[in-house]
Amino acid sequence: MPHIIVEYTDNIKSEADIPDLLKKLNGVLISRSHIFPTGGIRSRAIELHDYCIADGSEDDAFVHVTFKIGSGRSEADKKETCEALFDVIKAHFAELFEKRYLALSLDLVEFGEGGTYKHNNIHSRFKKPYLS
């Protein structure tokens, strides 16, 4: 953990640059590696083909980001991180937001330690001292 899941409507794919968005969102978390270990970060995107927005009469679009974390972070850290992530999302889509109907949202999901199972050797790569 943390995991970032970006769901976006297929009618913005050509302008959305989702790979760049994922890198930017990871960057927010990497800059907070004292809160979110870099080796646990996972981000992915799901392009949506079947959806209906509002009354379905326009070519509306949306991007919804789910930010999943394990328990144990302070309320202040969660709030500040979510605000930073949402600022990145809004900035990334600012130009597109000005050109079309677009809904942006972010949701935080926090898991308790019970019911969360992990097996990960990626963390060890980030704990090793860097060689120059």
CA 16 centroid distance within chain = 14
pLDDT at 16 over 90: yes
Strands of the 61-70 sheet, one edge to the other: 42-48, 3-9, 61-70, 102-111
Q: 61-93 pLDDT, tens per residue? A: 999 999 999 999 999 999 999 999 999 999 999
- Among 3.30.429.10, 3.90.550.10, 3.40.50.360, 3.40.50.150, what is the CATH number of 3-127? 3.30.429.10
Tokens of 68: 């999943």
Catalytic residues: 2
The β-bridge relationship of strands 42-48 and 61-70 is unpaired
- The whole-angstrom separation of Cα 94 and Cα 18 is 14
Average pLDDT over residues 85-108: 98
Domain coordinates in residue numbering, the chain: 3-127
pTM: 0.88
CB-based burial of residue 48 (10 Å sphere; 0-12 exposed, 13-18 middle, 19+ buried)? middle
pLDDT of residue 132 exceeding 60:
no
Q: For the CA atoms of the chain, what is the radius of gyration?
A: 17
pLDDT score for 131: 54
Q: How far is CA 104 from the centre of its chain?
A: 12
Q: Please tell me the predicted confidence (pLDDT) of residue 117.
A: 77
